[in-house]
Amino acid sequence: MPRLITDFDGPIIDVSERYYRVYQYCLAAVSQPEQRVRQLTKQEFWSLKRSQVPEAQIAIRSGLSDDQSFHFSKLRRDTVHTMPYFQYDTPVPGAVEALEMLQQAGFDLVVMTMRRTRELNYALQRYDLERFFPLDRRYCLANDYVKTIDTKDKPLLMARAMRELPTTYSTWMVGDTEADIAAAQSQGLPAIGVLSGIRDRKRFEQYGPTYIASDLAAAVELVLDRCLLAV
Ligand SMILES: [Mg+2]
């Protein structure tokens, strides 16, 4: 049975609205009442995120001082993964259908994410995605896990998955950041970078995934094609 390991945020869930709402909140919270700030449009904000402009830079571009940008980054970090904001996440168009297609084709589906267990379960329930990922096919961070950086934490999670999952003749990884590519490469797996998430094509060309696809639906098409060729 071929296997597809997919990241959650980016390929399946669009987090741009959550991130933008948190940006708006932090900008308002950190600025002075009489201070003139320039709130970026969602499009401006998201394209900065996708080209990996640091949070402090985004704050400065929005009219905050260096000092304020420090507070902004901290508040943003403390807020972005809190429950009130997760409700702004939405499924990426076509992602659910792509998962259905893989499931029908007999793929072993695994989700691998830097979300914590409660954050992952919340979204799986909310969008009726539990049916794709049985409990032993969910790789995420424990609720009390102390995060370092994603490019370190994700390969660790991948190593655990490789130890625990039954061996299979073909495994693919899909993700939207350098952490996903690093995790796949650490185990010698082919990686497909999707552009429906928080990195743009230019970033991906630097990180060198095996393939770049517009979204999960396109990635699935590619995987199914390759698997047919291999038979
Ligand atoms: Mg992601």
pLDDT digits (tens, 9 = 90+) for 143-169: 999 888 999 999 999 999 999 999 998
pTM: 0.95
48-60 tens-digit pLDDT: 999 999 999 999 9
Domain boundaries, the chain: 3-14+90-230, 16-86
| Predicted pLDDT at 231 | 56
| 231 Cα to the center of ligand 1, angstroms | 31
pLDDT digits (tens, 9 = 90+) for 1-36: 899 999 999 999 999 999 999 999 999 999 999 999
Residue 62 CA to ligand 1 center (angstroms) comes to 25
114 CA → ligand 1 middle, Å: 8
CA of 122 to the centre of ligand 1 (A): 16
DSSP state string for the chain: --EEEE-SBTTTEE-HHHHHHHHHHHHHHHS-TT----PPPHHHHHHHHHTT--HHHHHHHTT--HHHHHHHHHHHHHHTTSHHHHTT-EEPTTHHHHHHHHHHTT-EEEEEEEEEHHHHHHHHHHTT-GGGS-GGGEEEE-TT-----HHHHHHHHHHHHHHHSPP-S-EEEEESSHHHHHHHHHTT--EEEETTSS--HHHHHHH--SEEESSHHHHHHHHHHHHHHH-
d(CA 177, ligand 1 centre) in Å: 6
- The CATH number assigned to the domain with range 3-14+90-230 reads 3.40.50.1000
